[in-house]
Amino acid sequence: MPKVAVLIADGFEEIEALATVDILRRAGITVNMMGLTGNLVTSRSGVRLYTDARLIDTDASGYDAIVLPGGSQSVDTIARHQSALRMIEDFAKRGKLVAAICAAPKILAQQGLLRDKRATAYPGLEKLLDRPRNDKVVVDGNIITSQGPGTAIDFALGIVEQLAGKAAAARVRQEIVA
């Protein structure tokens, strides 16, 4: 079964992070929420969360995908974290799935990973994208992008479809009445 790392930093958007983790786990996908340096992170709304692992202690080679939830503070923190940036770039270059929602596609754009790719992001950030789309979720090769908290379920189901297939995504969609 696929294994996914979800990078979580203070200021993360809890709907995007937790809906994605929940839906992936419902599909039978192994998910590790990773704090950048610590295990306790606080969301943009003050929700405290204990992560499964710390990025600084993790060997990323066993993961099939990386997910970047939004939240402007979290995105800015990840964008300055060299280990996280190396991991994202390595996944993209190896053809592993890289998924970013809300403000997080900004990280991919800054790394040049969206060059000539169709992508979407939180409204107002499309100026950072080479080929912006107004769709809730955009898949272009091994990159998945999405617009924001209201698109989190569709985003997560898109990840499930890419990693576990259409049947798994359809099963979870029916289970959660989406």
Q: Which residues are catalytic?
A: 102
- What span, in angstroms and rounded, lies between the C-alpha atoms of 99 and 117? 13
As beta bridge partners, residue 146 has 101, 137
Question: Are 16 and 153 within 8 A, CB to CB?
Answer: no
Would you state the structure tokens that stand for residue 150, as one six-digit string? 């209201």
- What span, in angstroms and rounded, lies between the C-alpha atoms of 68 and 155? 11
Q: Which secondary structure element, helix H or strand E, spans residue 89, and what is its range?
A: helix 82-94
- What span, in angstroms and rounded, lies between the C-alpha atoms of 106 and 131? 13
CA dihedral 120, 125, 128, 132 (to 10 degrees): 30
